Amino acid sequence: MDISKLALLCDVADTNNLTLSAERMGYTQSGVSHAISKLESEIGISIIKRTKHGVELTTEGELLMPYIRLVVTHYQRLDDIVDSILGLQRGSLSIGTYCSIASQWLPEIIQKYQQLYPNIAIRIREGGVSDVERWLYEGSIDFGFLSWKKNQNFKFLSLARDSLYAILPKGYSIPEEYQKTFPISAFAEYPFIASENGVDHDVSAALAQAGVTPMTCFTCHDDHTIIPMVEKGLGVGLLPSMFLKGHDTNIQKIPVSPCSVRTLGIGILSEKTLSASSKAFIKLSQKMITQLITADNE
């Protein structure tokens, strides 16, 4: 069974689009169809089916996909271990992360990493906490940047703490005592723009811990959508400080009471199975994130 065909199948499962996967993986569209047909013949099971909107996994394909991803991931890790013997000369990384971490931390870390290891290919996958956790368990990423929460079944390497802030439209009418610290309980009194479940666990956890049911007026899949909606006076929100960096010009940003903080870090399934390229990236991240936070606080 050709590992390249399995890797191609994983990409098709991600994109649900043969043309897009062909472009991403260096095939023609007919080449993708032929490769998957040959793989299905070898396995003896139909794995994908065509729909009006592209392709999707069959029921059998859904059952097989977690194991196929593990095969591909472990093959890549085996390849990376061989590379580590050769001194990190080549290899690949797949990293899951929040959008805020991808924009605030990763550019500088990746820039430095590529200076040290120019032949390591890096793929970034952005999503919410549920996405990053799922990718980690599936084996489709090597490790993930995310926040700590209870009952995570993987090792969590703590990196930094990040406070949550209330965000309001400029000039929004609130009691004077709310101007310095905004009570979390007050989110039950004002139209609240929320993230979908599984996107921003830290916000929903902070509200739940305070026993607050917000007066939700809109729900967004992407936290980036919340800020312009607040700017237009459609409601108030609760977002992490890191996410607001560079996006708080046209809104009020107020600390909440009681103080709510998320812990950011790196999730890994097992240090034993980490490739040399992954270990090098994590070690560099731990060093550089401390420096980045110190620079921000000066």
User: Model confidence over 186-237: pLDDT tens digits?
Assistant: 999 999 998 876 567 888 888 888 898 988 888 887 777 888 999 999 999 9
User: Model confidence over 37-61: pLDDT tens digits?
Assistant: 988 999 899 999 988 888 999 999 9
User: Model confidence over 22-37: pLDDT tens digits?
Assistant: 888 777 788 888 889 9
Average pLDDT over residues 264-289: 88
Average pLDDT over residues 274-297: 83
Q: Which residue has the higher pLDDT, 51 or 81?
A: 51
Tell me what pLDDT residue 84 has.
63
Q: Please classify residue 65 by burial: count the beta carbons closer than 10 Å to its beta carbon, then call 0-12 exposed, 13-18 middle and 19+ buried.
A: middle
In the chain, the domains with their CATH numbers are: 1-61 (1.10.10.10), 162-262 (3.40.190.10)
User: Model confidence over 171-187: pLDDT tens digits?
Assistant: 888 998 898 999 999 99
Can you give the pTM of this predicted structure?
0.66
Separation CA 146–CA 157 (nearest Å): 10
If you ran DSSP here, which 8-state letter would residue 228 be given?
A: H
Separation CA 6–CA 12 (nearest Å): 10
User: Model confidence over 4-20: pLDDT tens digits?
Assistant: 889 889 989 999 999 88
Tell me what pLDDT residue 205 has.
86
